[in-house]
Every structure is written in C-alpha cells, then in structure tokens.
Amino acid sequence: MNDSIKILISLILMTLVSQAKASYILVGSDTDASCDTSDLTQAVFDAPSGTTIYIANNQSYEGVSLTILSKSLTLIGGFLNCSSLAPTGRTVLGPGTSRAVNIALGGSTYDVELRNLEITGVNGTGDGAGIRVNNRTRLELHNTIIHGNTTTADGGGIWLNGAVNQRLISHSPDNEIRDNTAAHGGGIYCDDSGSQLGHRTLIEWHAGWIADNVATAGPPFGGGGGVYLFNCQMNLSAGGPDPQNHPGGVVGNEGRHGGGIYLRAESSLNLHANDLLGGFGVVEFNEAVDSGIGGGIRCHGVDWPELARAEFFIHAGRVSDNTANSGAAIQMERCDGLRSL
C-alpha cells in the first residue's frame, strides 16, 4: 500500500471518529476529566442538530437557562459523572432562572427529547416558565418532572405556540407536570389562536400526571388549571381504574373555569383507551374555584369565526369527583360532545 493511500485512509478514519464524537457531548464538573465541558448552556447552543447531550450530576446547574434554536436535540440527565454508563436519577434544571428551557426558531420540524430531568424553581413573567416551545418541534418527555414553577403569564409548566406539526408527547408513567402556577394553563398552555388552519398542535398525553397545578386568571376566560387549549388538540389516555397500575391523568388542578382542562374556540379533546399500558383517560378531583364553571372540563366555543366550536370525545375515560358552581364534570357552551360506549 503506497503512502498516498495510507494518508487517505487515515483522513477518512479521523473524519469518522470526529463525526462519531460530535454526535454526543458529555457535560459535568470541570474536575471530571471524562467530561467534554462544564458549560451546559454553551454545549446546547453549539451542538449540531441530532446531538445527544449527557448531563452529569457532579455539579450544580442553578441559574442555567437553555436555549435550543433550530435543531433536533436529546438531553439525558441523571448520570453520577461523565464516566457513568447509566443514569441513576434526574438532573435538576431551573432554580435561579426566569425560564428553564426555550425552544425556538427555524422553519423545519425538529425533535427534542428530554430524559431524566427535573425542571423546578423557575420564577418568571413570560410565557412558559418551565419550557417554552415556539417553533415546529416535537417535544417528547421521558422520566421528567416539571414542578414548582411560576409565571405571571401563561403556561407554568409548558407553553406551546401552536406551530405546524408541533407535538408534546408523553408515554412515560414517570412524567409529571405538577404544582405549577400561571395566569392560564397552570400545567400546560397551548395557543394557536392566530391560525385559521385548525389543530396544528397536538398534545399526546398517554402516561404520567398533570396534577395540582393552578391557573390564577379571573373572568371571562380565566382557567385551565391543568391544561388550557386555544385552537389546539389533546389526546388523553393517561390513567385508569387503578392508580397503582395505571398512574396518571389530569388530577387535582384548579382554576376559575375548567379546573382540569379548558377547551376554547376550535379546540378538541379526546379521552380514549390506552392500548399499550391499559387504562384510559382520567380527569378527576379538579376544581373550578371562585364560583367558576366546569370543574373537570370547560368546553367553550366562540362566535368568531363562524362555526368555531370546541369539541370533546369520550371513547374510553372517566371524568369524576370534580367540583364547580355549575357543571362539576363538564360545562358546555358552543361545544360538540360525543360519548362512545
């Protein structure tokens, strides 16, 4: 083999190694020689689309706010150090920030996965204290808890702007959006009010809890303690007859109207069976406070544009033990409903 061929092979091998290395980044303490960097914010900003970032718990991430711009990315926390082969817990993000994760920009559809994270302690004034999604991202959660976050705007846990192909997906029973507070949508707020296309954003909540969140806004449209949908769609199959074996659902939230879920304009809610985990969609123990209406669900269409009616379908589910001044289970106004037995 002549020298030129050897050089060519060496260059190819170096390129392959470099590409393989670029597909993941190890983030942790700068005293850990196995880590690539200690700066999680910069790692997220610099990472090429498709990168997986592994986060070690051998340093604090207090005050760290992440911005994911125009890319697909996977964040996996919970590693003891950068040499660990498997996660042993969750990584805490959010304390000392006004927003933990901001996902924005780009005209393509992106995939962002968050695994083994605990997003908590955010105190903000903008939409989306825990996570703000403002582009065509499919956001999937695994073993992630979003709790104890507060904003004076909308979406204490997660805020979605209703972009085309936007998704929020939960198949993990260990996911929780809990104890968050916002004006509307204490847990989740989805706003596609500017679209005439209808239902561009879909929330697929098939396992895990949306629980004990609070929406603070008053009349006329305040509420959605657990979830507030404005021209958005939600499929709910989390929960079941036995919380021990079928954990999850929209449970124990409160707001002025729609203590559990508020459907506004052309929003759609579908409670159905969970073919993978068993069980079905559950909405229970929610409360419409201050003489509000729709303890479990408020389904509220609007007069404009014409035929802008909200809708809900119960193919398999339970709406029970909710509290309100009127419509403890479901309150309907310019709304189409269907129960399939």
pLDDT per residue as tens digits for the range 250-300: 999 999 999 999 999 889 999 999 988 889 999 999 999 999 999 999 999
Q: What is the mean pLDDT of residues 37-41?
A: 98
d(CA 281, CA 189): 19
d(CA 237, CA 219): 30
d(CA 263, CA 190): 10
Residues 6+ apart with CB under 8 A from 46: none
Residue with tokens 């305040």: 222
At 1 the pLDDT is 56
Q: What percent of the chain stands above pLDDT 70?
A: 89
Which amino acid type is present at position 271? L
Read off the DSSP letter of residue 3.
H
Kindly state the tokens that stand for 201: 């954003």
At 246 the pLDDT is 82
d(CA 268, CA 161): 16
Confidence of residue 230 (pLDDT cuts 50, 70, 90): very high
Report whether pLDDT(21) > 70.
no
At 306 the pLDDT is 58
Say if residues 78 and 105 touch (Cβ distance below 8 Å): no
CA neighbor of 222 nearest in space, from 291, 162, 166: 291
At 195 the pLDDT is 61
d(CA 306, CA 299): 17
Give the three-state DSSP class for 27.
strand
**132-170 pLDDT, tens digit each:** 999 999 999 999 999 999 999 999 999 999 888 899 999
Indicate the range of 10-24, 36-50, 112-126 predicted with least confidence: 10-24
User: To 10 degrees, the CA torsion angle through 207, 211, 213, 217?
Assistant: 80
Report whether pLDDT(39) > 60.
yes
At 27 the pLDDT is 98
d(CA 27, CA 48): 15
Q: What percent of the chain stands above pLDDT 90?
A: 78
